[in-house]
Amino acid sequence: MNTQTTTISKRTLLDRHEQSAPAGLMFYSSLTDVRADRSLRPYLHVISRAWDALELDGVLCVNGLPTLYLTIRHQPVSPAEGANLQRLFWNQGVATVLVVVDRETVRIYSGLAKPVHSGVSLEKEASLVETLSLADYAIRVESFLLQLSTGRY
């Protein structure tokens, strides 16, 4: 996949998150947007650190509270890399959901489940809630965000 196609797909996915956010939810696709929202001041430092450490592409906030971190990768994400991202995410302890997207797969991790330790078999990660194809996730973004906002996910 060439870089131009990936960039378009990434923008489309970010737009889908922004357009699908129900009332009470705000999706930020840049750190500049996060910094501009005064209601996020209490979380600005932790969101900024997460943006850098996890190479975030977006943050979804429910009533001003960071709830979902989104990272979109150009290359396939291995189970070991996914587990490492989830460890970094879990250590921060702020958002409850990490969504890791690559060219084909979307992995949804829980911030409430303890991450697997390095060297442990990654066949069944307790923190991995769901794995979807990118196409399925793109179709389900709106219902997924609604479930997050109501606590049903």
Q: Which of the four pLDDT bands, split at 50, 70 and 90, describes residue 139? A: confident
CA distance 33 to 86: 24
22 or 37: which carries more pLDDT confidence?
37
Q: Does position 7 have pLDDT exceeding 50, yes or no?
A: no
Q: Does position 80 have pLDDT exceeding 70, yes or no?
A: yes
pLDDT at 24: 80
Output the six-digit token pair for 14.
């970010």
Give tens-digit pLDDT for 45-64.
999 999 999 999 999 999 88
Please say whether the beta carbons of 50 and 67 come within 8 A.
no
pLDDT at 5: 37
As a whole number, the mean pLDDT across the chain is 86
Q: Which of the four pLDDT bands, split at 50, 70 and 90, describes residue 6? A: very low
Category of 93 on φ-ψ map: left (φ > 0), alpha (ψ -120 to 50) or beta: left
What is the DSSP annotation of the chain? Answer: --HHHHHHHHHHHHHHHHHHPPTTEEEESSHHHHHH-GGGGGGHHHHHHHHHHTT-SEEEEETTEEEEEEEE-SSPPPHHHHHHHHHHHHHH---SEEEEE-SSEEEEEESSSPPPPTTS--SS-TTEEEEEEHHHHHHHHHHHHHHHHHT--
pLDDT at 120: 53
CA distance 7 to 132: 20
Percent of the chain predicted with pLDDT > 90: 52
pLDDT at 151: 81
Which residues fall within 8 angstroms of residue 138, CB to CB, at 6 or more apart? Answer: 12, 13, 16
Q: Does position 19 have pLDDT exceeding 60, yes or no?
A: yes
Give tens-digit pLDDT for 86-135.
999 999 999 999 999 998 899 999 998 888 766 555 555 667 889 999 88
